[in-house]
Amino acid sequence: MSDPTTFDPARRKPRPRPLLRTLVGDVLRRTRREQGRTLADVARTARVSMPYLSELERGRKEASSEVLAAVCDALRIELADVLDEVRRGLIDTRATQRAAKAPVIRLDAARRRRAPAHRDGDVQALAA
């Protein structure tokens, strides 16, 4: 399945949007690894199959609310904390997209615009 996109009229190209399942999976995997736990351990505790948990962590599967609650319980984290991390990821993605749109000004062009044309006999002072 392809990622949903939004249309950016200024660029005339579709701009990819992050998927919720990908961001949730990233948070679950990062949390599990920070705890030093194995996929098998968390899957067993959450009562889901190890391949299914792997698919969730990789953002390939959408977790139902029941499965997500079971995985959160197995990781001993609150669902609200997972969603807060996802929110931060969305904010970071949006900031990165805005930064990518910012115009790039070449240094030599900026210097040419700022440097006044001097005439013979003018004295220029340089600040260090």
Average pLDDT over the chain reads 81
8 Å CB contact between 42 and 74: yes
Percent of the chain past pLDDT 90, that is, above it, reads 54
User: What are the domain boundaries of the chain?
Assistant: 19-101
pLDDT reading at 90 higher than 60: yes
User: 6 pairs with which residues across the strands?
Assistant: 15
Per-residue pLDDT of 13-65, as tens digits, reads 666 778 999 999 999 999 999 999 999 999 999 999 999 999 999 999 999 99
Q: At what angle do helices 65-75 and 79-101 cross, to 10 degrees?
A: 100
pLDDT reading at 1 higher than 50: no
The pLDDT score that the predictor gives to residue 95 is 66
The pLDDT score that the predictor gives to residue 2 is 46
- Which pTM was predicted? 0.64
Q: Which fold has domain 19-101?
A: 434 Repressor (Amino-terminal Domain) (1.10.260)
* Residue indicated by tokens 């950016």: 8
8 Å CB contact between 79 and 50: no
